[in-house]
Chains A and B, each alone.
Chain A
Amino acid sequence: MSEETTKSQTTVVEDVGTVPAEAFELQLGPSHPAMHGIVKLDTIAEGELVVGMNATIGYLHRGMEKMCEHRTWDQNVVFTDRLNYVSPTLNNAAYCAAIEKHMGITLPERAVWVRMIVSEMGRVADHLTCVTASAMELGGFTHFFYYIKARELIYFMFEKICGARVTTSMSRVGGQAFDLYDGFEKEWREDVEPQIRELIEDGSKLITRNRIFYDRFRHTGELPLDRCISYGMTGPRLRAAGSDLDLRKDAPYWFYDKLDFEVPSGKYGDNYDAYLIRMEEMEQSLRMIDQCLDKLPDGDVMLDDPKVFQPKKKDTYGHIEGLIHHFKHVMEGVKVPAGERYYAVEAPNGELGFYIVSDGSGIPFRVRVRPPCFMNTAALTEMCIGGQIADIVPTFGSINMIGGELER
């Protein structure tokens, strides 16, 4: 049963009978400043204390998985942009990698390295957004603008690579549609990365050890490790509880086993742990991009196989075979052999999985996304109950619920 049918998860308040008469219902959202218009939290509060909560999702459901069944494998890349729209490059790459894994094709090395670079850039952008969104919910607006400025630098680079800031559609089955542009490495190393590091550092000075911020984040939204696991949570929120599960380390895909990076894990499973883990992962991601750029080989970023990847323009214009392949590729799409495959990568929020079912045609039979923040949102109610109304907001920010990914 997919979660579209279960639109809301109810967490039963312990001893419902003893909820005192003063408790009142408080609806937070969907038109609430912190709820982004996409989730409704029916809260039962005793004064400022939250004693019950019921998270209702479904305000952003667009039927993406169903739409995927009416377009070719390649065309569906545009839907993956709109899953986690803060780190779109990573979704593009993960979706295409799932199909490639199923087809059993090996990409040119450069394509994989480029995917890793843009994925890590996406991860930095995502963590920047998440960290600063939860800080902004506390009123730390200056922090917000520093981090959004850093994120914008990354988005500008996305635009230079592929032509769009957010709806990147960078990957195709069989490679990347866009190689890094000339001078990418120089620009990243000399201009963008130092700026991003400086801004991250500035933001960290503003809040990390500030007692106001510390008190707001420490021991709020706590969830112990066993509860996290039982909810199926992954990513920073799971690592905050003490686990060090990271698919990049534990089930290395692409060339992550060739990189030197560390996986941080927290102590309490609270918001502060999650915050620091995100800060640390940004640092590690920046390190990884550096290493990727060192190891980036020359060559093509797309597979030279007209059955998989559209032929280059000079073949299309110059040769009749190229033109025919081009036509067949556009009209029929990539022929993916019949069968099914689950493939997961470590997205900023956790394990982002694509479960694809093919009937052998150029159009998917079924595409199922395992969105990491769905599980995290399921745990939101348990994190919030027992806390204060004011704690809902940073906790909600810290699980980084992205509507596009949650409801697809």
Chain B
Amino acid sequence: MSENPKFKYMHLNRELDFWESLYLPEILRGMSVSLGHFMSNWPFFRREKTVTKEYPEEKFDTYYRTRGRHYLTRRSDGSITCVACQMCAMACPANVITIEAEEIEPYYTGRQKIDRRPKTFVIDQLTCIYCGFCVQACPEDAIRMDSGHPALAIHSREEAIVGRDLLLDMKNTKEGQHNIVFNPIPGKEPAQAPFTVLPTEDAQRREY
């Protein structure tokens, strides 16, 4: 088997030869590798090969699929998109979403009649496992997780239990310099000021 030319490493499965058993040649080879890395990183602090990011100052590029902290979206008139259908709460494998619905005066946006909205919408973001099932389960595009809030940096456990209003106003929080994208679905009217941040193309591409 080991003579198979398609193998790259199996031919090394042999006894040590004379030079290898002298320690020194292989030690020098290993040191040439590690010092090679050193020399490409150290002189003038070039850091050609380093991958570490100095986090608060420089951040990783997150792709639009990144599952960050949840937030709730608004309709173009500023009302909450969520209709309290409980789909996200049902789809959640960790049972972290609690929704209490309330009836409101019916009104129409486009062809849609709205007569329900959540009275409370609480997510325990510490118990959450960030699987994204709630986003997938939402029939209204009301809850989103995206690259906008990658970090769950909080001072107490209570802060992680996030209610409706905070979820809506995520963009006003300290780390919320993300793009809340309204109405990414083609055919729906685009969002209006004052809540608008321009829709990114990324969210348009969400299929699922």
| Shortest CB distance A80–B (Å) | 11
In the complex, B87 has a CB within 8 A of chain A = yes
Q: Are A266 and B133 in contact (CB under 8 A)?
A: no
Distance of A388 Cα from B120 Cα, bound (Å) = 61
Distance of A97 Cα from B74 Cα, bound (Å) = 38
For A211, the closest partner residue in chain B by CB is B23
Distance of A181 Cα from B207 Cα, bound (Å) = 12
| Shortest CB distance B185–A (Å) | 6
Q: Which residues of B contact A212 (CB under 8 A)?
A: 23
Q: Which residues of B contact A181 (CB under 8 A)?
A: 63, 65
Q: How many residues of B contact A (CB 8 A)?
A: 51
Q: Are B7 and A211 in contact (CB under 8 A)?
A: no
Q: Which residues of A contact B141 (CB under 8 A)?
A: 313, 317
Contact for B185 among A202, A206, A314, CB less than 8 A: A314
Given A159-B66, A163-B65, A313-B185, decide whether A327 and B13 contact each other with a Cβ distance below 8 A.
Answer: no
Q: SS class of chain B's interface: helix, strand, loop or mixed? A: loop
Contact for B91 among A159, A211, A330, CB less than 8 A: A330
**Which of A74, A146, A169, A318 is the most central at the interface, judged by chain B CB atoms within 10 Å of its CB?**
A169
For B21, the closest partner residue in chain A by CB is A211
Q: Are B9 and A276 in contact (CB under 8 A)?
A: yes
Q: Which of A197-224 contact B (CB under 8 A)?
A: 202, 204-212, 214
Q: Are B27 and A210 in contact (CB under 8 A)?
A: yes
Per-residue CB proximity of B176-208 to A under 8 Å, as 1/0? 000000000101000000000000000000111
In the complex, B12 has a CB within 8 A of chain A = yes
| Shortest CB distance A41–B (Å) | 28
In the complex, B166 has a CB within 8 A of chain A = no
In the complex, A78 has a CB within 8 A of chain B = yes
Q: Which residues of B contact A361 (CB under 8 A)?
A: none
| Shortest CB distance B16–A (Å) | 6
Select the stretch in B101-109, B124-132, B157-165, B167-175 that faces chain A: B124-132
Q: Which residues of B contact A210 (CB under 8 A)?
A: 26-27, 30
Q: Are B67 and A163 in contact (CB under 8 A)?
A: yes
For A268, the closest partner residue in chain B by CB is B13
Q: Which residues of B contact A79 (CB under 8 A)?
A: 93
Q: Are B132 and A169 in contact (CB under 8 A)?
A: yes
Q: Are A330 and B137 in contact (CB under 8 A)?
A: yes
In the complex, B98 has a CB within 8 A of chain A = no
Given A244-B1, A313-B141, decide whether A202 and B12 contact each other with a Cβ distance below 8 A.
Answer: no
Q: Are B12 and A264 in contact (CB under 8 A)?
A: no
Contact for A264 among B7, B27, B66, B132, CB less than 8 A: B7
Distance of A331 Cα from B137 Cα, bound (Å) = 10
12 new A-B contacts, CB < 8 A, other than A264-B10, A330-B137, are A75-B91, A149-B51, A152-B51, A159-B66, A163-B66, A167-B130, A169-B133, A178-B65, A181-B65, A209-B20, A276-B12, A327-B85
Cross-chain pairs A/B with CB under 8 angstroms, 23 sampled: A78-B131, A78-B133, A142-B37, A161-B65, A163-B132, A163-B145, A167-B129, A169-B132, A181-B63, A181-B65, A204-B9, A207-B30, A211-B20, A262-B4, A264-B10, A267-B13, A312-B208, A313-B207, A314-B207, A317-B141, A326-B139, A327-B85, A330-B90
| Chain B interface residues toward A at CB < 8 A | 1-2, 4, 6-10, 12-13, 16, 20-23, 26-27, 29-30, 32-34, 37, 51, 62-63, 65-67, 85, 87, 90-91, 93-94, 129-133, 136-137, 139-141, 145, 185, 187, 206-208
| Chain A interface residues toward B at CB < 8 A | 71, 74-79, 142, 146, 149, 152, 159-164, 167, 169, 177-178, 181, 202, 204-212, 214, 244, 262, 264-267, 272-273, 276-277, 279-280, 283, 302, 310, 312-314, 316-318, 323, 326-327, 330-331
